[in-house]
Amino acid sequence: MTEASAVRFIELTIDGQSVRVPEGTTLLEACRGQGIATPTLCYLENLTPVNVCRVCVVELEGSRTLVPACSRRAETGMVVHTDSDRVRLSRRMVLEFLASSVDLSLAPAVGEYLRRYNAHPERLGPPAAGSERDFRPVGHHHQPDGTTAETVAQPVKVDNELYIRDYSRCILCYKCVEACGVDAQNTFAIAVAGRGFDARISTEFAVPLPESACVYCGNCIGVCPTGALMFSSEYELRQTGAWDEAKQAQTDTICPYCGVGCTLTLHVQDNQIVKVTSPLDHDVGHGHLCVKGRFGWQFVQNRTDPAKE
């Protein structure tokens, strides 16, 4: 911990209120400190800000463009507006762009944002049907006719027993890439490939996960905000219509495998563990786990009598 005397404070104005924050504070943290609700999609406390979704933008006096609250650090004398017409319009458009191109039905936070910013994605056109998106070359595209709005709809990737990747739900927030890379796992099994609207999360040459470097830590699932990455157990229950969060209990426990002692949150439905998460504010793993804690719980439910095997 830095000693209190060493911390320098910064004064700025947010929505007309004078605010004092420690040096290094982001505008998002400063806003949250003031109780100003700021939407975020690509930001997560335990990851480096990539500031790509732009839903958190705020107006900074003297700046030609709006600035991303999640990554911009507070500076003395800044005058910030978080709910001006410009801010509301950009947030609305970002949400309309996403909702018109991505299946957000499993991203509950976004539904709330869409209402708050009065977003009407349907004005961009009815969604176009999807297709395979893995091998699109960069460069020229067919001229659209404008009757539909292009989407990222594509087949679900089911290539291993532990989790599925449904990139029709992907908003390209880069969180999974960060979690798989330097921010947590250091495995680098996935990266962003392609360019523009064809940009996508991919393994090398889009090989199935079992042929990739993936070690199934599931940290990408843990950070995904849209349900694009999902436990197979959850996916299968959803397919049969049996998934029911109302019937689920969440129980915190300590992972039994090793001495690190990560906290596991077990999601249990009908006496079955259906998925495992870990709290972000946990000071050991910051929400990240390894394959054992994340997926190695079948033995708990192994109720067959060994003698009968």
Partner 1 sequence: MDLRLRATPPHATERAAVDAVLGPPESGWVGGVRRSESDGHVARGGHDMRTRRHLLLPALHAVQDRLGWISPEALNYICQRLDIPPAEAYGVVSFYALLSLSPQPPVVAHVCDDLACLTKGAGAICAELERTIGPAGTPSADSRVTWHRSPCLGLCEQAPAALILAAGDSPHTQTLSSIRAADVVTALRSDHAAETIPMILPQAGDTGLRLLRRVGVVDPTSLDSYRAHGGYTALRRALELGPSRVIREVTDSKLLGRGGAAFPMGRKWEAVAQAAIHPHYLICNADESEPGTFKDRILMEEDPFALLEAMTIAGFATDCQQGYLYIRGEYPHARERLAGAIAQAHARGFLGENVMGHGFRFDIELRRGAGAYICGEETALMNSIEGYRGEPRNKPPFPVQVGLFGKPTVINNVETLVNVLDIVLHGGLAFAAIGTPGSTGPKLFCVSGCVTRPGLYEVPFGVTLRELLALAGGVRDGGSLQAVLLGGAAGSFVTPDQLDTPLTFEGTRTIGASLGSGVVMVFDDTVDLKAIVLRIAAFFRDESCGQCVPCRVGTVRQQEQLQRLLTGHTLSTLPEELTLRADIGQVMRDASICGLVQTAASAIESALAKLQLLTPSRVS
Q: Residues in the site for partner 1, rule: CB under 8 A?
A: 51-55, 57, 65-66, 68, 71, 86, 89-90, 92-94, 97-98, 100-101, 123-125, 135, 137-141, 143-150, 171-172, 186-199, 202-205, 212-213
Nearest to 267, CA basis, from 305, 231, 304: 231
Least separation, in Å, of the C-beta of 120 and partner 1?
Answer: 10
185 binds ligand SF4 (CB under 6 A): yes
Q: Pick the piece of the chain touching ligand FES (CB under 6 A) from 46-54, 98-106, 160-168, 280-288.
A: 46-54
For residue 224, give the nearest of 174, 274, 263 by alpha carbon.
174
Quote the least distance from Cβ 200 to partner 1, whole Å. Answer: 9
CA-based nearest residue to 256, from 298, 195, 224: 298
Task: Enter the tokens of residue 118.
Answer: 């009065």
Q: Tokens representing 267?
A: 């999601």
Q: How far is the CB of 42 from ligand FES (least distance, A)?
A: 4
Positive or negative CA dihedral for 225, 226, 232, 233? positive
What does the block give as tokens for 47?
């990851």
- Asked if residue 41 binds ligand FES (CB under 6 A), the reply is yes
Give the CB-side neighbour count of residue 12, counting CA atoms within 13 A.
27
Tell me how many degrees the CA angle 129-132-136 measures, rounded to the nearest 5.
110
Q: With contacts defined by CB under 6 A, name the span among 50-58, 111-119, 121-129, 240-248 that binds ligand FES.
A: 50-58
- Which residues fall within 8 angstroms of residue 182, CB to CB, at 6 or more apart? 48
Q: What is the DSSP letter of 126?
A: S
Among 25, 27, 43, 230, the residue binding ligand FES under the rule CB under 6 A is: 43
* Touching ligand SF4, residues 228-247 (CB under 6 A): 228-229
The closest of 228, 205, 251 to 153, measured between CA atoms, is 228
138 binds, among partner 1, ligand FES, ligand SF4, none (CB under 5 to 8 A by kind): partner 1
Assess 285 for contact with ligand FES (CB under 6 A).
no
From the list 189, 291, 176, the residue with the least C-alpha distance to 229 is: 176
Contact yes or no for 27/67 (Cβ under 8 A): yes
For position 187 contacting ligand SF4 by CB under 6 A, the verdict is: yes
Among 31, 70, 171, 224, the residue binding ligand FES under the rule CB under 6 A is: 70
Q: Interface with ligand FES includes 172 (CB under 6 A)?
A: no
For residue 242, what are the contacts with CB-CB under 8 A and spacing of at least 6?
none
Q: Is 54 in the site for ligand FES (CB under 6 A)?
A: yes
Whether 151 contacts 102, CB under 8 Å? yes
* Number of residues binding to ligand SF4, judged by CB under 6 A: 27
Query: DSSP 3-state assignment of 168?
Result: helix
Q: Residue 170 touches which of ligand FES, ligand SF4, partner 1, none (CB < 5 to 8 A by kind)? A: ligand SF4
Compare residues 74 and 107 and give the one whose CB is closer to ligand SF4: 107
By the criterion CB under 6 A, which residues form the site for ligand FES?
40-43, 51-56, 68, 70
Q: Which residues are near ligand SF4 by CB under 6 A?
A: 170-176, 179-180, 185, 187, 189-190, 201, 214-220, 223-226, 228-229
